[in-house]
Amino acid sequence: MRTIPIPIDASKLRFVCVRAPRPRVLNAETGEIKTDKDGNAVYELVVSVEDAFGRIELVKVATSGEPRVTVGQEVTPIGLVGYVWEASRGGQTRWGISYRAASIVPAGEVAAHA
């Protein structure tokens, strides 16, 4: 399956950090941390996402480098994109959307990063 990034208009959504950023572990046995093409550690954090209708979802967002955000803080993902993925194992096929942002900043700091 070809992965094409799908841009997401984050301006229409409210994001709150609900789990602190932590490095993405590739191999639990060795403790290997995922890195991007530049060698920076990839971090994941879980955010609640609320739309204009009050619907809330929890999503995991990856970003390169450790975001300077805390649990409970309203945040803004800069350059947020989604990637559709598919995996087959044991005859079962699963699919979903993974999310990645160029950076994740406290909501009040958006203008400085735009």
pLDDT of residue 110: 63
Provide the pairing of β-strand 56-64 with 42-50: antiparallel
pLDDT in tens, 79-102: 999 999 888 888 899 999 999 999
Mean pLDDT of 12-26: 96
Q: Are 32 and 25 in contact (CB under 8 A)?
A: yes
Pairwise CA distance, residues 65 & 79, whole Å:
14
55-59, 103-107, 108-112: which range is least confident on average?
Answer: 108-112
pTM, full prediction: 0.85
Length of the chain: 114
Measure the CA–CA gap between 97 and 83, rounded to whole angstroms: 5
Structural domains of the chain, with CATH = 6-113 (2.40.50.140)
Q: Which residues have a Cβ under 8 Å from the Cβ of 98 and sit 6 or more positions away?
A: 60, 62, 82, 83, 85
Q: Which two tokens stand for residue 31?
A: 């403790």
pLDDT of residue 2: 64
pLDDT band at residue 57 using 50, 70 and 90 as cut-offs: very high
